[in-house]
C-alpha cells in the first residue's frame, strides 16, 4: 500500500482538503472563461475544459469517496475530515461551480458569439426552411442509427455507457403490441456529432449550429408512431472509471487489462446530469435506476455535455477570436539534418516546451533508428497517443536490428488502450516490451541510446518532465534535457536495468529515484536549507509542480519556514499546505499560474549555500509519486542551462502579475493583477523570448 504519513507533526487544521483543492483549481480555470482579456472562442474552450476536468474528478475522486462511504471506512484525511464530510463539501462546491458555468455560458458567452455571427439556433427560433433541413437531417443521418428502448417488464432499463448522451422520453398511448409503458430511453450513438452546422444561407449568419439534443427533442415523436410524447429530457451518467485491477493477483497484466477496460464504461454511477426541464417524476425514476440521491443530481440549463463544444473553436475560422498562432523556436544547431549526437557530445541541450519545438526529440529517436552505429535504444512510455511518430521510430529501429527495449506503462489512466496497442506492435517486430514493475506505475520520462564510437560504446540520454507525446508538447510546459554526461547516462542505464531485470537498487550518483531516494532526498534538501537559516545564512527554496499533498514534505516545509527559509511554491493544481499562517508558515508563499498552456514542469531549486541546486522531475510532491511510482528527478549540471531553468522556469513565473493567483492561508486564491506595476505575463514573455519569432539564439 501507499506509504502514508498518518501522524503529521502538525494538527489537522494545518492542512487543506485535497478534493476541495481540486475544485478550487477548476474555479481558476472557470475564471479564464470569464476573463475578458482572453479571446472569445478560447473562453468557450476554457468553459469546456472545466467540464472535462469535472468529468475526471467525478470518475476518479468522487467515486473514491463514495467507495469509502460504502465501505464505512473510518479513515480521515490529513485535514481531519471523513469521506462523508468531504463528500458533502465537495457536492456543494461542485454544484456551485456548475451553476456558475452554465450561467456564464448562457448569459455571456453565447450572446457574445451571437453578436459575432456564431449562433446556436434554439428550436423556438427555427423558421420553416431551417426546420425542413433539420428534419431531413434527422431522418437521413439520425433515425437509422437510433435505437429507442421502451421500458416494460421485458425491456428493463438499459445499460447506459459512462458519459454518453441519452434521452428519457415520457409517452402516452399504446404501441403496435398494445403496450403502454409510458417511458422509453433513446441513446445517442457516439458516431453522431453533438453539434450540427447548418448551411450559411439557411442559418442567416456565417456560423449557425444546432445541438443534436434540440433535433432529437423536436422530432422524437417520429420514433414512437401513434403515441404522444409528453416530454423528452437529455441526461448523462458519470461512472466510477478507476480500473479494478488487483496488480498483486495478476500474472499477465495486459490480458487482465484488456478484459477490464470495456467494464470501465459500466462502473457504479456517481453523478447524474439532467436538463433543467426534466419532470420531477422522470428525475426520481432516473436517480433510482442509477442508485443515486439528490446530492448526485446536477440540473443544467443547456446541453449536458459541454465537453463536446470543444470542437467549435476549430470549426470557426475567426483568427481574431482565438489566441494568435504560435510557432515554437528551435535552438541553433538543432535544425533538421544536423547530426544530433555530435551536438549533444559538445554540450548538454535543454529544450523548453512548448516555447521550443519538440522536433529535436523526434529527430533524436529518428536518427537513432537509422544510424548504423546505434546498437541499443531503451525508452519509457507513459502517454504517447494513438498515432505516434516516436513509436514508429522505435518499430523501425527494431526492424533495423537494434536492441530496442520499451517500458510501457499499461496503467496510464485513460491511455491504456493506446499503450496496449503499441506494445503489441513493438513485440511483433522483436522489440523487448516490459510492463514496468508490478505495483508501481512507471511515470519517469527517460530515453537511453547506446552508440558504438571510437574508444567503445557511448551513451546518450533524454530526460524530461513530460510525456513523449508530440501533441501535448505543444500545449504543456515541460523541460527536456539531452545529455552525454557519463555519470548521468550511467545512472539512467542503471534505472533501465532495474525496470527490466531483477536485483537490488544500486546507488545512483546524480538521479533521485522514486520509490527509493526521491522523497528522502527532497526532505533532506529542505532540512539543509532550514539548517542554513538557523545558522544565519541565506536559505531559499523555490519549487514548481502540479500538486503538493505529501504530509512529510509539507511538515519539512513548515519547519523550514519557522527556521526562516524563504519559500516560494508555484503549484498549478492542488496544494494542501497552508501558506502564511503566523508562527507556522509565514515565510511560505503559494501561487498558481493558469494560462494558455498547461503548466506541467516540476522544478526544485535549493539555494544550498550558494551552489543553487536545480532538479527537474516527472514527479509531483504526492504520496503516489513518491511511493507508488517509478519517477526520476535529475540535476541540471551545466551552469548556463541551470541559469536558464531558474530564469525561464521560475523567475518568469514568480514575476507574473497577469496569470498568477496567490493563495491565502484558508486555501482561497486571489488573482494577482496589479494596475500599478508593469504587467508581466510569464507565458507570453517566454513565447516572445523563445518562440520562432524571437531572434534565434
Output the pLDDT for position 240: 87
Of 456, 472, 507, the position where a domain reaches its end is 507
How many alpha carbons lie under 13 Å from residue 533 in its C-beta half-sphere? 22
Residue 76 sits in a domain whose CATH number is 3.30.1840.10
Residues above pLDDT 70, as percent of the chain: 90
Residue where the block lists cell 451518467: 237
Question: Which whole number is the average pLDDT over 566-578?
Answer: 97
Same domain for 49 and 167?
A: yes
The model's confidence at residue 98, banded by pLDDT at 50, 70 and 90, is very high
Crossing angle of helices 83-104 and 18-33, rounded to 10°: 0
Task: Say how far apart CA 229 and CA 639 lie, in whole Å.
Answer: 73
Which three cell numbers, joined as nine digits, stand for 68? 469509502
Q: Are strands 349-353 and 297-300 parallel, antiparallel or unpaired?
A: unpaired
pLDDT for 413: 53
Report the range of poorest mean pLDDT among 177-186, 386-395, 516-525: 177-186
| Domain CATH for 496 | 3.30.870.10
Q: Flag whether 3 is in a domain.
A: no
Please indicate, yes or no, whether residues 483 and 594 belong to a single structural domain of this protein: no
Confidence of residue 434 (pLDDT cuts 50, 70, 90): confident
Nearest to 10 by CA among 443, 495, 552, 656: 552
- Asked if residues 306 and 211 have their Cβ atoms less than 8 Å apart, the reply is no
695 is a domain residue = no
Q: What percent of the chain has pLDDT over 90?
A: 73
Q: Which of 456, 483, 507 is the last residue of a domain?
A: 507
What number is the average pLDDT over the span 9-33?
93
As a whole number of angstroms, the distance between CA 25 and CA 594 comes to: 9
Q: What is the pLDDT of residue 419?
A: 72
Q: Which has the minimum average pLDDT: 166-180, 485-499, 561-575, 660-674?
A: 166-180
Q: What is the pLDDT of residue 323?
A: 96
**Mean pLDDT computed over 429-438:** 83
Q: Give domain status of residue 651, yes or no.
A: yes
Same domain, 19 and 78: yes
Residue 220 corresponds to which cell in the numbers above? 422524437
Which phi and psi (to 5°) does residue 160 adopt?
A: -100, 125
Residue 289 and residue 391 in one domain: no
Confidence category of residue 693, pLDDT binned at 50, 70, 90 = low
Q: Rounded CA gap, 299 and 102, in Å?
A: 10
- The tally of CA atoms less than 13 A away on the side-chain side of residue 598 is 16
615 and 494 belong to one structural domain: no
- In terms of residue numbers, what domain contains 471? 340-507
Asked if residue 12 has pLDDT above 50, the reply is yes
C-alpha distances out from residue 635 to 339, 379, 622, Å: 25, 19, 20
Q: What does the pLDDT read at residue 161? A: 85
State yes or no: pLDDT of 596 exceeds 50: yes
Count of the separate structural domains present in the chain: 3
Handedness of CA 70, 76, 79, 85 (dihedral sign): positive
334 inside domain: no
Q: Which residues are catalytic?
A: 443
In this predicted structure, the answer to whether residue 300 has a pLDDT above a threshold of 80 is yes
Residue with cell 402516452: 172
Average pLDDT (128-146) is: 96
Q: Given phi > 0 = left and psi -120 to 50 = alpha, else beta, which region is 183?
A: beta
Among 518, 561, 511, 513, smallest CA distance to 540 is for: 561
Q: Residues 300-332, buried b or exposed e (16+ Cβ, 10 A)?
A: bebbbbbbbbeebbeebebeebbeeebebbbbe
Is there a single domain that holds both residue 550 and residue 473?
Answer: no
Question: Which conformational region is residue 630 in: left (phi greater than 0), alpha (psi within -120 to 50 degrees), or beta?
Answer: beta
48 and 179 in a single domain? The answer is yes
Assess whether 113 and 184 both reside in one domain.
yes
On whether residue 260 sits in a domain, the answer given is no
Which residue from 551, 562, 579, 593 is spatially nearest to 685, judged by alpha carbons? 593
The predicted pLDDT at position 258 comes to 55
Overall size of the chain counted in residues: 697
Q: Does residue 33 belong to any structural domain of this protein?
A: yes
Write b or e for each residue in 155-184: b if 16 or more Cβ atoms lie within 10 A of its Cβ, otherwise e. Answer: eeeeebbbbebbbbbbbeeebeeeeebbbb
Q: What is the structure's pLDDT at 53?
A: 94
Name the pLDDT band for 320 (thresholds 50, 70, 90). Answer: very high
Residue 189 domain-assigned (yes or no):
yes
Least confident of 424-433, 676-685, 688-697: 688-697
Is pLDDT above 60 for 414? no
CB–CB of 182/172 below 8 Å?
yes
Query: Is the same domain home to 524 and 487?
Result: no
Q: Please report whether residue 326 resides in a domain.
A: no
Domain boundary among 455, 481, 507: 507
Q: Are residues 490 and 529 in the same domain?
A: no
Residue at grid coordinates 511518430: 389
Cα distances from 552 to residues 110, 227, 231, 629, in angstroms, run 47, 65, 55, 17
DSSP type of residue 282:
H
Residue 176 has pLDDT above 60, yes or no: no
The better pLDDT of the pair 416, 479 is held by 479
Task: Look up residue 182 and give its three cell numbers.
Answer: 409510458
Give me the chain's average pLDDT, please.
Answer: 90
Q: What's residue 150's pLDDT?
A: 84
Residue 610: CB atoms within 10 A of its CB come to: 8
Indicate whether 503 and 360 sit together in one domain.
yes
Higher-confidence residue of 146 and 415: namely 146
In this structure, the answer to whether residues 93 and 215 fall within a common structural domain is yes
Note the pLDDT of residue 5. Answer: 46
Amino acid at each position: 500500500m501507499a506509504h502514508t504519513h498518518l501522524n503529521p507533526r502538525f494538527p489537522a487544521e494545518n492542512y487543506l482538503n485535497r478534493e476541495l483543492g481540486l475544485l478550487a483549481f477548476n474555479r481558476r480555470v472557470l475564471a479564464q472563461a470569464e476573463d475578458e482579456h482572453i479571446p472569445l472562442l478560447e473562453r468557450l474552450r476554457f468553459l469546456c475544459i472545466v467540464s472535462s476536468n469535472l468529468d475526471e474528478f467525478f470518475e476518479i475522486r468522487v467515486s473514491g469517496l463514495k467507495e469509502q462511504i460504502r465501505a464505512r471506512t473510518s479513515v480521515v484525511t490529513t485535514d481531519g475530515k471523513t469521506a462523508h464530510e468531504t463528500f458533502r463539501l465537495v457536492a456543494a462546491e461542485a454544484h456551485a461551480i456548475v451553476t456558475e458555468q452554465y450561467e456564464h455560458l448562457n448569459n455571456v458567452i453565447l450572446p457574445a458569439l451571437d453578436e459575432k455571427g456564431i449562433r446556436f439556433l434554439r428550436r423556438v427560433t427555427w423558421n420553416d426552411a431551417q426546420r425542413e433541413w433539420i428534419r431531413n437531417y434527422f431522418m437521413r443521418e439520425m433515425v437509422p442509427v437510433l435505437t429507442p428502448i421502451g421500458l416494460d417488464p421485458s425491456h428493463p432499463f438499459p445499460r447506459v455507457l459512462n458519459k454518453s448522451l441519452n434521452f428519457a422520453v415520457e409517452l402516452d398511448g399504446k404501441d403496435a403490441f398494445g403496450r403502454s409503458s409510458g417511458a422509453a430511453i433513446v441513446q445517442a450513438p457516439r458516431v453522431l456529432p453533438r453539434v450540427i452546422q447548418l448551411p450559411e444561407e439557411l442559418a442567416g449568419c456565417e456560423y449557425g449550429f444546432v445541438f443534436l439534443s434540440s433535433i432529437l427533442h423536436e422530432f422524437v415523436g417520429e420514433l414512437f408512431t401513434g403515441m404522444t410524447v409528453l416530454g423528452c429530457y437529455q441526461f448523462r451518467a458519470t461512472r466510477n472509471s478507476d480500473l479494478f485491477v488487483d496488480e498483486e493477483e495478476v500474472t499477465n497484466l495486459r490480458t487482465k487489462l484488456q478484459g477490464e477496460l470495456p467494464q470501465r464504461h459500466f462502473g457504479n454511477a456517481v453523478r447524474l446530469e439532467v436538463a433543467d426541464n426534466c419532470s420531477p417524476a422522470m428525475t426520481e425514476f432516473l436517480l433510482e435506476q442509477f442508485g443515486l440521491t439528490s446530492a448526485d443530481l446536477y440540473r443544467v440549463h443547456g446541453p449536458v455535455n459541454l465537453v463536446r463544444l470543444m470542437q467549435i473553436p476549430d470549426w470557426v475560422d475567426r483568427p481574431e477570436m482565438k489566441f494568435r498562432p504560435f510557432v515554437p523556436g528551435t535552438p541553433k544547431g538543432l535544425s533538421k539534418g544536423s547530426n544530433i549526437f555530435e551536438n549533444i557530445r559538445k554540450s548538454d541541450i535543454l529544450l523548453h516546451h512548448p516555447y521550443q519545438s519538440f522536433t529535436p526529440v523526434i529527430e533524436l529517436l529518428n536518427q537513432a533508428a537509422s544510424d548504423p552505429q546505434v546498437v541499443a535504444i531503451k525508452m519509457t512510455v507513459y502517454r504517447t497517443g494513438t498515432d505516434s511518430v516516436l513509436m514508429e521510430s522505435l518499430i523501425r529501429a527494431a526492424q533495423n536490428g537494434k536492441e530496442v527495449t520499451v517500458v510501457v506503462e499499461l496503467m496510464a489512466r485513460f491511455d491504456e488502450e493506446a499503450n496496449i496497442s503499441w506494445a503489441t506492435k513493438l513485440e511483433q517486430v522483436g522489440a523487448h516490451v516490459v510492463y514496468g514493475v508490478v505495483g508501481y506505475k512507471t511515470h519517469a520520462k527517460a530515453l537511453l541510446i547506446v552508440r558504438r564510437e571510437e574508444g567503445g560504446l557511448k551513451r546518450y540520454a533524454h530526460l524530461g518532465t513530460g510525456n513523449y507525446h508530440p501533441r501535448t508538447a505543444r500545449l504543456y510546459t515541460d523541460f527536456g534535457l539531452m545529455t552525454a554526461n557519463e555519470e548521468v547516462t550511467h545512472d539512467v542505464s542503471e534505472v533501465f536495468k532495474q525496470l527490466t531485470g531483477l536485483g537490488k537498487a544500486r546507488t545512483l550518483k546524480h538521479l533521485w529515484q522514486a520509490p527509493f531516494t526521491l522523497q528522502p532526498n527532497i526532505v533532506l534538501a529542505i532540512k539543509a536549507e532550514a539548517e542554513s537559516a538557523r545558522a544565519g545564512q541565506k536559505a531559499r527554496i523555490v519549487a514548481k509542480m502540479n500538486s503538493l499533498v505529501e504530509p512529510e514534505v509539507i511538515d519539512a516545509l513548515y519547519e523550514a519556514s519557522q527556521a526562516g527559509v524563504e519559500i516560494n511554491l508555484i503549484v498549478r493544481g492542488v496544494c494542501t499546505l497552508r501558506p502564511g499562517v503566523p508562527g507556522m508558515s509565514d515565510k511560505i508563499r503559494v501561487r498558481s499560474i493558469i494560462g494558455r498552456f498547461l503548466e506541467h514542469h516540476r522544478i526544485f531549486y535549493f539555494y544550498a549555500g550558494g551552489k543553487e541546486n536545480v532538479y527537474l522531475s516527472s514527479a509531483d510532491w504526492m504520496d503516489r509519486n513518491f511511493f507508488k511510482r517509478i519517477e526520476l528527478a535529475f540535476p541540471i549540471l551545466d551552469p548556463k542551462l541551470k541559469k536558464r531553468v531558474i530564469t525561464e522556469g521560475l523567475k518568469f513565473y514568480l514575476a507574473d502579475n497577469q496569470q498568477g493567483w496567490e493563495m491565502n492561508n484558508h486555501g482561497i486564491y486571489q488573482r494577482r493583477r496589479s494596475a500599478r506595476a508593469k504587467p508581466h505575463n510569464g507565458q507570453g514573455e517566454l513565447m516572445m523570448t523563445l518562440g520562432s519569432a524571437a531572434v534565434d539564439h
